Structure 1
Amino acid sequence: MNKFAILLSGFLCLAGAVSGQSLEQTTEQRLKDFFTSYETSYARIGKCKLERFEVEHEKKVLRVYANPAFGYQPFTEENVSAIYRLLKQSLPGPVNYYTLQVYADGKLIEDLVPNAYRKKQDKTRLYGKLEAKGNPWVTNVSRPYEISRGLEGRHIALWQSHGKVYRNERNEWRWQRPRLFCTTEDLFTQSFVVPYLIPMLENAGAVVFTPRERDWQRYEVIVDNNTCTKGSHYLEVEDKKYRWQDTDKPGFAQKYQQYPDNYNPFTDGTARFIPTQGQPEKAFAEWIPDIPEKGKYAVYVSYQTLPESVSDAKYLVFHNGGVTEFKVNQQMGGGTWVYLGTFEFDKGRNDYGMVVLSNESSQKGVVCADAVRFGGGMGNIVRGGQVSGVPRYLEGARYWAQWAGMPYP
């Protein structure tokens, strides 16, 4: 009797395992059939496929992961409900009674419904107030007028269309848009965005950030506490009470003339900081470039945002037109190039061509100093064993962003 009970128990366990395996296989086949035959009448999204699925029988949950193409369709609450309904109808029992979760590109499809198509809006997706609190990112203190309305205090992200990119399948650098009427969109759009649209917004009070190089200057001069372009000079002035020190965060350093993909130059060096005080020019840093040719050069500063950073770091740009003062909010924008303006400089190194950062501030805290860049320069990101061979302003945003310290995922 005991022997019979043991044999019966073993048989039932085996049958259960076979039944469970059969259920898994049937579920997988039904899911594959559903996504293979799935089509939409309002969007061409490519071929949909099942990537994988997970079943938790104890919790009665079925998670289904579709390929990214399935997520390319515009989701509404209605078609999400229809997808869940049709998918459940195609599943075998008892799985069709389980809680069903469908993912596209790693996200639940119900989360991919934009607020415009929701009966009840997701408040976590709504923008806050447009007015930024505190000081703007960059303020031109020397501007001969004050803007009380318009776009004062607003921060706008804007870029001038496309640019040259590397095509893996062709192993060459190419424009992103076709040639048309003796130009291409990559070139034509920025011919009015950079000299007209961006200055118009800035003159109305906005701070404009662009993820592409805005300076058409082919030369580039880097002045830094770690490395400098030949002939350029970085200088620190301090006293007994206020001394420059290295930050805990890494900073910029130009170790190479050309960079491979996924290399961040803002992690190769150090950045410097010093406590602030209320008296002018007690301590400061100077960046003195050796300009290769007389002309106009964009000036970019960089720093690290620290816990005690102030929002009114004082920068002075000495150029052929005089001295222009800026206040930079170092509580934001650390670890990248921050555009101050475009100025004319004489050739060579001189005392009336430089950038100065003072530790003078109305706030108690620290100011931070890292590299300063003069001019747009040539593209220096290597793809397929070669650089683009064109000035950086002609390249796509991806390559400027890497040079500007954007971290890769």
Structure 2
Amino acid sequence: MAIAILRRLAGAAPAPAFPAIGAGMRAAADDLFLDGRLIRADSIRHARILLVAGPVREADQDDIRRLHDQMLHPRATLWWKSNPVPDFAEPATCDEDDPVAAIEAIHRALIEGARDSEPDILPNEPPNPWRGKGDYGQGGEGMMGGTPYGRPMAMTDDDLRDGLALDAYTAPFGPFLPMLPPGLKLSVTLQGDVIQTAKLLRPPSAQAEAYDGTVTALRALGRFLPILGLEAHAVRCLEAARSLSAGKPIELAKIRQFLFWSGALAAIPSGIGMVEDTDVRMRVERWLAALDESPTGGLDGSATMSPLKPARLVDLLRGREWSEAILIVNSFDTDTLISLAPVEAEDAETEGRAREDGIRMDHEGHGTHAHGATGT
């Protein structure tokens, strides 16, 4: 009796969902998680529901499978305006504009035991054989090298900044890492928290968001501010963007004042992410300036910058600390970021070799899994 009561209470709590966002659904997903009946899980390990929002590229399907298998039980997947990828048995789908009721129903059924937890899709085995191989049984030569549990062991290399010999670790990040734009996947070599090299594996998924002035600026701020630890201000911006989109009046001056006094600009290092004489701080200042305009004014296509062929995202990230790199990536709108992120032939080969070797190390905000996928 007591267990049944606890299950009902747990089932009535807000549903923790992790969004894997595909093409054209970023704004809708942002608005969805303003609903108090949901919790946006920053890690798949903290979610009960994997919410796949929008079309998933074929290249991202393996990532979805690995992401799914890293959820703790009980778990379920809801395909929101998305076609389920193969291997998901009896997938639940929702084509409604508001899927909250469907998410709530699935969550309640999971907690109360009325719905079975989804089984693993991938085989529970290392992505490549390594046990007992090599001089010390880790799959490499001597005491270094090898890929135990699917992760390559860090190898000593000279630091980019001062030449000190530090361990360098290479791993892919994305395409559903919450702190990166949806779809963006990078192969990054880190020494400590400094990026030594970066290669683009996949560009961001196209979002086709209209440049509608103040709403565009508010959405950009709503995605950028959590990186600075200003989640409450981010929510205020996203709520204002949703209200303006619905034609409701908003006190923009008050929001701008809150953001000015938050210290957000002072927290952004000067001179990082410089493209065409603008750095990250200047781009954020543009968003703030747009809050002084009417809802139909402010930012437009020219203000967000036209395609920038001379610049490459990976070059902007090289030599930056991880925290700075995340600020740089999120200071661009999706279209501009796509123009900065052409997939070079050598980068495509890098991902191809990882696929052939069976090394699955995608980072999605959670811990290592037996399948060899590691958390982003």
TM-score bin (small chain):
under 0.3
Q: Which has the higher contact order (CA 8 A, sep 6+)?
A: 2
TM-score (norm 1): 0.20
TM-score (norm 2): 0.21
Larger Rg: 1
